[in-house]
Structure 1
Amino acid sequence: TLEHAKLKARLEVLQRNQRHYAGEDLDSLSMKELQNLEHQLDSALKHIRSRKNQLMHESISELQKKDKALQEQNNKLSKQVKEREKE
């Protein structure tokens, strides 16, 4: 059917694009197509790095909170030990 043929053609385009994004089957691309691909990959890499940095900052913030809580707990326990030593 026509719908099946359209879906099959679309699938082939998507698979070809996926290979291009993976750096495969680049011989058939023109200079302009290679430049467009490079631009798309640069843009994707910027988004990836931005998200990675965001996650790293969130992780650092959480670790700092945990560190502060552990320091407070350590101080509390140290005080308890000193109080018991006085007894």
Structure 2
Amino acid sequence: YRKLKAKVETIQKCQKHLMGEDLESLNLKELQQLEQQLESSLKHIRSRKNQLMHKSISELQKK
């Protein structure tokens, strides 16, 4: 039970960091890693969005 509780707390802390909360506890290296992770995530999100937009445009052009 303790291990599970610790894992949940770690996940919650990571989630807060991803949302821009509780950043005061992070050092410079951790902030840089978080920034890289966010940039990578944003890149994937934009790529997926572009795929969906292209698909939508193609479908509209077929009509």
Question: Is this a same-fold pair by TM over 0.5?
Answer: yes
Please report the TM-score for the alignment, with normalisation by the length of structure 2. Answer: 0.99
Higher RCO (CA-CA < 8 Å; seq separation 6+): 2
- Structure showing greater Rg: 1
Structure 2 stretches of 5 or more lacking a match? none
Which letter does structure 2 place at the counterpart of 1:35?
Q
CA RMSD of aligned residues (A): 0.3
2:61, 2:26 → 1: CA distance? 49
Structure 1 stretches (4+) deviating beyond 4 angstroms?
none
Structure-2 residue corresponding to 1:15: 12
Shift of 1:32: 0.1
Residue pairs, 1:1-87, within 5 angstroms: 4-66=1-63
Identity between Structure 1 and Structure 2 (%) = 70
Structure 1 stretches of 5 or more lacking a match? 67-87
Aligned to 1:59, the other structure's residue is in SS state helix
Please report the TM-score for the alignment, with normalisation by the length of structure 1. Answer: 0.72
2:8, 2:56 → 1: CA distance? 39
Post-superposition Cα deviations, 1:26-60, rounded to whole Å, max 9, x if no partner, equal 00000000000000000000000000000000000
Shift of 1:5: 0.3
